[in-house]
Copies of this chain bind each other. A is one copy, B any other.
Amino acid sequence: MNLAERYQQVRQRSEHICSPLQTEDYVVQPIEDVSPPKWHLGHTTWFFETFILKPYVSAYKEYNTEYNYVFNSYYESVGSRVIRTDRGNLSRPTVIDIYSYRKYVDEAMYHFLCGDIPAEIQELVILGFNHEEQHQELLYTDIKYILGHNPLFPAYSHEYKATHFERAVGAEFIQMPESIYEIGFEGEGFCFDNELNRHKVYLNAYQISPSLVTNAEYLEFINSGGYHDFRHWHSEGWAWVNANKIESPLYWYLIDGHWHHYTYHGLQPLDIHGPVTHISYYEAYAYAAWKGMRLPTEFEWEAAASKFNWGQRWEWTESAYLPYPGFSKAPGAIGEYNGKFMVNQKVLRGASEVTPPGHSRATYRNFFQTGLRWQFTGIRLAK
């Protein structure tokens, strides 16, 4: 598939994700972390307009000069912007306006990509694909939050179907020997700057579980009083549990004595065989401590990744999100992509049921603050 075709495919996928929505669902922002779907659709378009069309297509005429202010996310280099918490206060541009904007930019991009593109710009375009794929995952998680926090609990789509995963039931922990391991991306194809440089890490012997912790297993933690015993928690996690009165994963509701969870099909009885999901790092850590185990580091995870199935949940690791040896930021706005977030966040490895196919890889480093739960997060134990 050439670049122009791949462009169309990526762009259509974003719109396909939104196709079950009502116009109103595109607009709201119930918490700061969740952006309105129409903002995602506009922002990913602005990315191609700002970083490809405006600098490299001389005949290109900007669609609307005020959109930079509306759709810039966090690029300080590219001017001022609507503050993040205000995204849900904007009724305009409308959904129709934004689809027109997409159409306009898509035509210009397609035309441009059918031409002869220098390698350096090709790289930027491919970065744009990966960027849009990241927002596709956010579209899924943000839509879940918007509908799942509505008192009417509407379904997103009854046609939604998560990929099926075989569980390695009762399987033994994988034994990994003490050794020097090579960590980080190498080879052809795209990777983010935070996966570089590939470098050596010395690991002691360790064991890692071949499967994710299930809802049934997590229920044992709840039922044994895990949310009420400070000994399992970080000091900061304990404060978080108490300040937010957390008693279960996000989207769980105890109705007449039976646990339910909100899913893309609406409110459903809890699937106890499924992997526990929508838990914070604090909860993942506390669960592991309660079990007498721990979370793997991102290096342990990557070194063993070929030995287990992954891709169902983003797995919290014990590793802080830090630069690899030799990491350097690209110059200009693109350099703001990853490096400036490398403090007070944790690395998650793997992928989730809403990660676009082919987007992730064994060296991929996702990262979030320790209290966030609206992503499809999960737990893999180590010891």
Contact = CB atoms under 8 A, between A and B. Distances in A.
Interface of A: 22-30, 38, 66, 69-70, 74, 76-77, 82, 86, 88-95, 146-147, 149-152, 154, 180, 199-204, 230-231, 233-238, 281-282, 285, 294, 318-320, 322-323, 325-326, 340-344, 370
A89 B27 CA distance: 9
A147 B93 CA distance: 11
Contacts of A204: 199-200, 325-326
Contacts of A285: 343
A171 to B, nearest CB: 24
Contact of A28 (B91, B151, B282): B91
Nearest to A321: B320
Given A150-B90, A235-B340, A322 B320 contact: yes
B91 A146 contact: yes
Contacts of A91: 22, 24-28, 146-147, 150
A107 B142 CA distance: 38
Contact of A341 (B230, B234, B322, B344): B234
A289 to B, nearest CB: 9
Q: Which of A147, A294, A342 has the most chain B CB atoms inside 10 A of its CB? A: A342
Helix, strand, loop or mixed for chain A's interface?
mixed
A246 B318 CA distance: 32
A89 B149 contact: yes
Contact of A92 (B69, B154, B344): B154
Contacts of A86: 30
16 contacts: A22-B94, A24-B91, A27-B27, A70-B151, A76-B230, A77-B231, A92-B150, A92-B152, A180-B202, A204-B326, A235-B341, A236-B341, A236-B344, A294-B323, A319-B322, A320-B322
B23 A24 contact: yes
A238 B336 CA distance: 13
Given A28-B28, A294-B323, 7 more contacts: A22-B91, A91-B147, A235-B340, A236-B341, A236-B343, A281-B343, A344-B344
Contacts of A150: 89-92
A343 B322 contact: no
Q: Which 7 A-B pairs have the closest CB atoms?
A: A320-B320, A30-B89, A24-B91, A202-B202, A25-B91, A76-B230, A235-B340
Contact of A23 (B94, B203, B233): B94
Contacts of A233: 340
A100 to B, nearest CB: 13
Contacts of A342: 234
A32 to B, nearest CB: 12
Contacts of A26: 24, 91
A344 B322 contact: no
A152 B24 contact: no
A231 B147 CA distance: 34
Given A23-B24, A24-B26, A66-B152, A340 B89 contact: no
Contacts of A325: 203-204
B95 A24 contact: yes
A228 B69 CA distance: 21
Contacts of A28: 27-28, 88-91
A37 B92 CA distance: 15
A206 to B, nearest CB: 8
Nearest to A343: B234
Contacts of A318: 322-323
A234 B345 CA distance: 12
Contacts of A203: 325
A238 to B, nearest CB: 8
